Amino acid sequence: MKSKLLYILAALSGMLIALPEPAFAMHISEGILPLGWALTWYLVAALFVGWGLIIIKQRLLRFPQYKPLLGLMGAAVFVISCLPIPVPIVGSCSHPCGTGLAAILIGPLASIVVAAVALLIQALFLAHGGLSTLGGNILSMGVAGSLAGWFTYIGLKRLKVPMAVAAFIAGCMADWATYATTAAELALGLADPGGAGKLFSAICMAFAPTQIPLGILEGFITMGVVVFVKNRRPEILDLSLTCHKTAGVSA
């Protein structure tokens, strides 16, 4: 099963890379953020990525079977976040993220790391995002998306909400948190003094027509995968839960 899924994801990745159409401007494009803000987001993102690498190393030492799951979710996040949905009003595009799903299956800090790797590859080879804005993109898609998805899912599960519903809402919140954070980064970096709030609202309104339904779509995708894993490969969710408990942290 894992081998087949990896082959499918690899094939989809190859198809995306081979598309002849010009790439849409995904994530925050190269050179958009002022230097000061770009460095700030790099620093914040680096703290989370470093923490995630420590957690991953601990889990790999104790659970060798965690490695293929980590690789599978890395491929999934890469492919999912490479699917552009054009936004004609602003001449850019939206896209799903996959970090809510990754956070549920491998933990939020590990999800941040796989998102960082996916974003780096996209910036280097697909012209999606950029190196100067990599920190900001990791913060929005990796950190905000993963943490929003994870804490939503865990919080709802503790309230005895059915797994399918919890996964659906977690997928929605991960997607929307990513774009809210992106809008905040752009507003802080581009607005005149005192105008960040207005620019933030304008960016959110511009992307809302595509991002709201896209978040709902990502919720259904997250729900479908989590339910499928629960029914067909429940040991994956058991492994994820065991990793969280034995690591002594909830991440």
Q: Cα–Cα distances in Å, from 155 out to 34, 147, 174?
A: 36, 12, 14
Task: Name the band, by pLDDT with cuts 50, 70 and 90, for residue 84.
Answer: low
Provide the number of structural domains found in the chain.
Answer: 1
Examine residue 241 and state whether it is found in any structural domain, yes or no.
yes
For residue 116, the model assigns a pLDDT of 96
64-68, 133-137, 237-241: the lowest-pLDDT one = 237-241
Examine residue 50 and state whether it is found in any structural domain, yes or no.
yes
**Rounded average pLDDT over 102-124:** 93
For residue 55, the model assigns a pLDDT of 92
The tokens for 211 are 């991002």
The tokens for 67 are 């490695």
What's the CATH code of the domain at 124?
Answer: 1.10.1760.20
Examine residue 251 and state whether it is found in any structural domain, yes or no.
no
For residue 237, the model assigns a pLDDT of 78
37 contacts 138 by C-beta, under 8 angstroms: no
For residue 245, the model assigns a pLDDT of 60
For residue 205, the model assigns a pLDDT of 86
Examine residue 106 and state whether it is found in any structural domain, yes or no.
yes
Task: Name the band, by pLDDT with cuts 50, 70 and 90, for residue 192.
Answer: confident
4-8, 96-100, 148-152, 163-167: the lowest-pLDDT one = 4-8
Examine residue 23 and state whether it is found in any structural domain, yes or no.
no
Burial class (CB in 10 A: 0-12, 13-18, 19+), 188: middle
Examine residue 20 and state whether it is found in any structural domain, yes or no.
no
What is the extent of the structural domain holding 230? 30-246
Higher pLDDT, 11 or 106: 106
16 contacts 117 by C-beta, under 8 angstroms: no
10-24, 150-164, 187-201, 234-248: the lowest-pLDDT one = 10-24
Task: Name the band, by pLDDT with cuts 50, 70 and 90, for residue 44.
Answer: very high
For residue 208, the model assigns a pLDDT of 82
Examine residue 3 and state whether it is found in any structural domain, yes or no.
no
99 contacts 77 by C-beta, under 8 angstroms: yes
For residue 110, the model assigns a pLDDT of 94
Examine residue 79 and state whether it is found in any structural domain, yes or no.
yes
The tokens for 162 are 């059915």
pLDDT digits (tens, 9 = 90+) for 118-128: 999 988 988 78
Higher pLDDT, 235 or 77: 77
Task: Name the band, by pLDDT with cuts 50, 70 and 90, for residue 92.
Answer: low
Residues 6+ apart with CB under 8 A from 135: 38, 39, 40, 41, 42, 43, 44, 45, 46
**Rounded average pLDDT over 186-199:** 86
